[in-house]
Amino acid sequence: MAKTSPAQFVRQVRQEINRISWASRRETGTATITVFVMATIAAIFFLLVDLVLSNVVQFVLGFGG
């Protein structure tokens, strides 16, 4: 494999950066809000599952004593 000079490497990096399609400010905001909403929904779901399972375990363990 041929070695690339530092100048050639920098040119290649700039070419790759120019090919990137960056998200707009609106798309970034929408994605951020979506992530926060989904994380909140997941947190509430796991909170409810944890509460139900802990009550079931307490009932089962308390039932024998």
What does the domain layout of the chain look like in residue ranges?
36-65
User: DSSP secondary-structure letter at 3?
Assistant: -
Is the confidence at residue 37, as pLDDT, over 70?
yes
Sign of the dihedral through C-alpha 51, 52, 53, 59: positive
What does the pLDDT read at residue 64? Answer: 54
Task: Match 């992530």 to its residue by tokens.
Answer: 35
| pLDDT at residue 55 tops 70 | yes
Decide: 34 and 27 in contact? Cβ < 8 Å.
Answer: no
Find the mean pLDDT for residues 1-12.
Answer: 88
Range 16-31 average pLDDT: 95
Q: Is pLDDT at 23 greater than 80 in this prediction?
A: yes
For residues 63 and 54, the model is more confident at 54
| Percent of the chain whose predicted confidence (pLDDT) is above 90 | 78
Q: What angle do CA 45, 46, 49 make, to 5 degrees?
A: 90
